[in-house]
Amino acid sequence: MANISKKKQLILDYIEKNQPVKPGVILDTIEIGEPMLYRHLKALLEKGSIEKIGSSPRTFYRIALQENERDTAIAFSENISDTLENHFYDITASGKILEGASGFVHWCEVRGFEPKNKAKEFFKIHEKYQKARKGDLLNATSKLKKTFGDYVGVDALYYYDFYSIEIFGKTKMGQKLLYAKQSEDRNLMKEIAETIKPAIDNLIQRKNIDAIAYVQPTVPRQTQFMKVLENELNIALPKITIVKVLKDIRVPQKTLKKLADRIENANETFVVESSHQFKRVLLIDDAVGSGASINQIAHKIKRKGFAQEVIGFAVTGSLNDFDVISEV
């Protein structure tokens, strides 16, 4: 490798011979200070020479897989290339992240697809779904109207992104949300919060929001995404509290396949509390499938007079009349 120091080369050679390797093992073997080792590791990561697997305190380094070296021979059009770079994201069964144009090519090769034709298909489908985007958010208000008819409690509903699209499955944000919740990865949760915060701040300003509320989870986890999201967004507005009432037997919304059952579940298990009345509240959820939870909570907020209008927001969601997102 050109333009690499002797010490970096020693580290690289050692990783190649003994991979995967913990940083502590490198420190025990190569005469180098800990701060300098991590500077070299960071430089090698940025060059793409090595990759990091695992998370602290069980972090390992190995030589980066070179499956994408051949991708440079594939030239996509500028529009398609930009779409792939900004929106393609996949996580393999081994936990490797594939993103951008090079990740898309690898995704195609594993499945036996011709990348250029498949990229055109990805672009076409992506463009179709972006027609619902208004500025930095997707307007999903029509979804609730189609699902609940006159029984709509949410005055407007917005998504940061769809959860999934046909053929290609989960979107970039859908993938991140799924793995952030299932692996209880706090860093990934913070990354999602950082990504969506500007869009939420704009929505609050545009809609003159004067209170905030967060839909609470049913599935018990040590690290709850919604709690991390609330802390990271740090929205300086009064809060309407939503309590998830725990019954003797917990029945998560995502296990219910009928809309009527989902409405009953939301009606019986969510309680809203506030000591003030507001004009417009922003009700935040992680994913909207059927919309039963966010719609039923909106009704409860209005019936108790806590807010005149309820604006819904979800990190991801579906535009189908009735959909079940059972994974998250």
CA 120, CA 107: separation in Å to the nearest integer? 14
CA 196, CA 314: separation in Å to the nearest integer? 10
Residue 245 pLDDT: 80
- Each residue's pLDDT tens digit, 210-268: 999 999 887 778 999 999 999 999 999 999 999 988 765 565 656 666 767 777 777 78
Q: Say how many C-beta atoms besides its own lie within 10 A of residue 40's C-beta.
A: 22
Residues in a beta bridge with 89? 99
CATH architecture of 6-63: Orthogonal Bundle (1.10)
Closest C-alpha to 233, from 186, 286, 196: 196
Contact 273, 240 (CB under 8 A): yes
Residue 257 vs residues 24, 30, 68, 120, 181: alpha-carbon distances, Å: 49, 58, 41, 34, 21
pTM of the predicted model, to two decimals? 0.76
Residue 300 pLDDT: 95
Domain 133-317 has CATH 2.40.50: no
Closest C-alpha to 115, from 73, 67, 173, 175: 73
Residue 203: pLDDT band (50, 70, 90) is very high
Residue 309 vs residues 153, 271, 273, 326: alpha-carbon distances, Å: 9, 18, 16, 29
pLDDT at 72 over 60: no
Residue 1 pLDDT: 44
- Let me know if the fold of 6-63 is the same as that of 133-317: no
**Percent of the chain at pLDDT exceeding 70:** 90
CA 28, CA 18: separation in Å to the nearest integer? 13
Q: What is the residue whose two structure tokens read 């919604």?
A: 226
Residue 167 vs residues 118, 119, 253: alpha-carbon distances, Å: 10, 12, 26
Residue 69 pLDDT: 45
Domain ranges of the chain: 6-63, 69-130, 133-317
CA 90, CA 97: separation in Å to the nearest integer? 6
Closest C-alpha to 244, from 259, 261, 227: 227
Closest C-alpha to 137, from 282, 298, 262: 282
- Each residue's pLDDT tens digit, 107-162: 888 888 999 999 999 999 999 888 888 888 999 998 888 888 889 999 999 999 99
CA 223, CA 103: separation in Å to the nearest integer? 29
- Between residues 291 and 232, the one the model is more confident about: 232
Contact 157, 143 (CB under 8 A): yes
Structure tokens at 115: 């990348």
